[in-house]
Structure 1
């Protein structure tokens, strides 16, 4: 495999979403597509990642059967674990994909990230960047990319700190994106009316 791949994080508990009044698993919350048909939020994330043509892996929990089904329908490889946080999820996915030439970390609830966003980050890694992050009006966004040289460090992440602690301004390439690279579904009303 001569390209970076995308890790879709779908093992979270959605605590902030539920505290804000959301019901059930936020990754399954229905959002209308361009035709007005309700689809699970995670489907939009998966569809955009697939459109990039990059390899994909999705990390989720054993009991999240509806998420398993979505991933299987899309033909995406799944890792199941009772994750203690995003760091543990990232580490598990990286250990399963040592042949990738880097990793793009994509939260499952950030469905407004486009295929082109993924490709921009992947191209920057392929051109020699060590770390890459999309931003919007100086706000940090996703996906965040790490070169293959970060394998050992990423594979040992733990807890819920994710890969944020690894970002180093001396090594980080920032790419200006659009509002969607910073938008997530932690709040039930935070979504546009359609995709």
Structure 2
């Protein structure tokens, strides 16, 4: 079992809102957004595989430095990224799909989802009735995951199936970095 970190998006909203460069390289609490996401995933001691774009050089360098395998893809959407990551790890008995722009998910949450996959085929955290990340899939989902396309990720798969939810109280853990203002808020919060 392991964690697929999807880091192959275009960050369109971030750039349209005035952000410069790749939001995953942006500074957050003394490191980059991606570095914090990767650090939390690695702290679980689960296997980690990153899916990123060829032009995301800093992400590739960070993965190489930590000996984290990665797949390069000219991704047309999250579905394609998930399919590539799952196809690269067919020997895993389950996958925790996580978004690289969600750096606040603590290692313990990944472990909770992984542990619940021993009893359930689909697992995800939920806070205030809102489903969150990472999303856990047992190995029986390999065929469907490896054929995903488009930008909806695995959303269509989750609609028709019974998902086991882990109720959490830490809503902040589910925040993502979509806009430059999100970085400003988090960096100010860390400094105070």
Q: Fold-level match, TM-score > 0.5?
A: yes
Q: Which residue of 1 aligns with 2:53?
A: 61
- The 5 Å alignment of 1:125-144 reads 125-126=117-118, 128-144=119-135
TM-score, normalised relative to structure 1: 0.91
| Alpha-carbon offset, residue 86 of structure 1 | 0.6
Deviations 1:170-195 (A, max 9, x none): 52001122113420000222242339
| Alpha-carbon offset, residue 72 of structure 1 | 1.2
Q: Identify unmatched segments of 5+ residues in structure 2.
A: none
CA distance in 1 between counterparts of 2:18 and 2:159 reads 36
Q: Which residue of 1 aligns with 2:34?
A: 42
- The 5 Å alignment of 1:63-142 reads 63-126=55-118, 128-142=119-133
Deviations 1:17-42 (A, max 9, x none): 1112211100001012xxxxx31110
Q: Which residue of 2 aligns with 1:172?
A: 163
Q: Which residue of 2 aligns with 1:189?
A: 181
CA distance in 2 between counterparts of 1:180 and 1:151 reads 31
Flag the structure with higher helix content. 2
Residues matched between the structures, number? 186
CA distance in 2 between counterparts of 1:15 and 1:181 reads 22
Q: Which residue of 2 aligns with 1:147?
A: 138
Deviations 1:108-142 (A, max 9, x none): 0100011101000000002x201011111111210
| Alpha-carbon offset, residue 66 of structure 1 | 1.0
SS in 2 for 1:106: strand
CA distance in 2 between counterparts of 1:170 and 1:26 reads 33
TM-score, normalised relative to structure 2: 0.92
Is 1:16 the counterpart of 2:8 in the alignment?
A: no
- After superposition, the CA RMSD in angstroms is 1.4
